[in-house]
């Protein structure tokens, strides 16, 4: 017998089970309070759909990782973004991203196209190396109002993906960051897990260094072992990352 008209279609049991498992794992995660986040986990065309927004970029990455670890990366469709909607007009964000990329002299930004929709920045075009591709994507997160970055840049001279390249990219971002003295910080990466060590002058520099690391595509986790020098100030940092 066929289903009655307008009856909601049932999702496969494995999808429903995985949703419960993901919710349970996230609720038990001590790194954030998942139950207070504006995030929904739903069935989506036979896959796991993540929708909503979070306060910080690390929360977005970790939620996606937990879901992928349970359901498999190919079975997760994430639409998570950082920060609440309507923080800043898309045109302003696009101009700010364009200006920041154009100011950098380490790569040719004339071949990069920038589009912004609902705070989500999309980069298309070409760039010379994998390091510069990741670098350009990370810089976008510095712009207030950016909710996500879709980096579709094609690399002309691709390099092997490895931890050394990842650490080099993070170091390059920190060198450009006026809040960070890169000479004070050691960056190590193993399997995409980045460890930061060293001593900085204040809490603002410590937080800025960690934010720079999270902004680089390919980073799975950040262990911040940076210490603050005695008498260091905690002035705070104003930047993007959903702010």
Q: Do domains 90-157 and 163-233 have the same CATH topology?
A: yes
Number of separate helices (H) and strands (E) present in the chain: 6, 10
Pair type for strands 38-44 and 112-117: unpaired
Q: What value does the mean pLDDT take over residues 92-98?
A: 98
Nearest Cα to Cα of residue 243 among 54, 36, 80 = 54
CATH of 163-233, one of 1.10.287.110, 3.10.20.810, 3.40.50.300, 3.30.1340.30: 3.30.1340.30
Nearest Cα to Cα of residue 55 among 68, 42, 78, 36 = 36
Nearest Cα to Cα of residue 211 among 132, 141, 164 = 141
Q: What value does the mean pLDDT take over residues 54-61?
A: 95
Q: Model confidence at 156, in pLDDT bands (50, 70, 90)? A: very high
- pTM assigned to the model: 0.85
C-alpha–C-alpha distance, residues 176 and 94, integer Å: 20
User: How close are the terminal C-alpha atoms of the chain, in Å?
Assistant: 54
Backbone angles phi, psi at 142, to 5 degrees: -75, -15
Condensed to tens digits (0 to 9), the pLDDT of residues 105-139 reads 999 999 999 999 999 999 999 999 999 999 999 99
Strand (E) positions, the chain? 38-44, 47-54, 76-82, 112-117, 120-129, 148-151, 154-157, 185-190, 193-202, 221-233
- On whether the 13-82 domain is CATH 3.30.2010, my answer is no
Is residue 2 pLDDT above 70, yes or no? no
Condensed to tens digits (0 to 9), the pLDDT of residues 23-55 reads 999 999 998 999 999 999 999 988 999 999 999
C-alpha–C-alpha distance, residues 93 and 57, integer Å: 17
pLDDT for residue 240: 54
Is residue 98 pLDDT above 80, yes or no? yes
Question: Both tokens of residue 147?
Answer: 């909710």
CATH of 90-157, one of 3.30.200.20, 3.40.50.720, 3.30.1340.30, 3.40.50.300: 3.30.1340.30
Q: Which of 3-7, 19-23, 228-232 has the lowest mean pLDDT?
A: 3-7
Nearest Cα to Cα of residue 131 among 169, 172, 101 = 169
What does the domain layout of the chain look like in residue ranges?
13-82, 90-157, 163-233
pLDDT for residue 160: 87
pLDDT for residue 181: 87
Is residue 212 pLDDT above 70, yes or no? yes
Is residue 15 pLDDT above 70, yes or no? yes
């Amino acid at each position: 017998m066929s289903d009655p008209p307008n009856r909601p279609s049932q999702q496969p049991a494995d999808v429903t089970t995985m949703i419960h498992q993901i919710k349970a794992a996230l609720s038990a995660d001590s790194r954030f309070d998942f139950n207070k986040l504006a995030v929904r986990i739903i069935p989506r065309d036979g896959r796991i759909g993540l929708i909503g927004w979070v306060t910080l970029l690390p929360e977005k990455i970790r939620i996606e990782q937990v879901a992928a670890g349970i359901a498999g990366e190919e079975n997760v469709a994430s639409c998570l973004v950082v920060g609440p909607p309507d923080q800043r007009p898309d045109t302003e964000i696009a101009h700010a991203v364009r200006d920041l990329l154009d100011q950098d002299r380490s790569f040719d930004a004339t071949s990069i196209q920038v589009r912004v929709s609902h705070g989500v920045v999309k980069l298309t075009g070409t760039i010379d190396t994998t390091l510069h591709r990741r670098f350009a994507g990370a810089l976008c997160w510095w712009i207030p109002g950016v909710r996500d970055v879709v980096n579709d840049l094609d690399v002309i001279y691709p390099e092997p993906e490895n931890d050394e390249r990842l650490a080099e990219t993070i170091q390059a971002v920190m060198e450009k960051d006026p809040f960070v003295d890169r000479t004070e910080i050691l960056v190590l990466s193993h399997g995409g897990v980045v460890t930061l060590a060293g001593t900085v002058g204040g809490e603002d520099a410590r937080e800025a260094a960690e934010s720079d690391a999270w902004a680089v595509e390919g980073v799975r986790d950040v262990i911040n072992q940076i210490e603050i020098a005695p008498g260091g100030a905690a002035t705070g940092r104003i930047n993007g990352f959903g702010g």
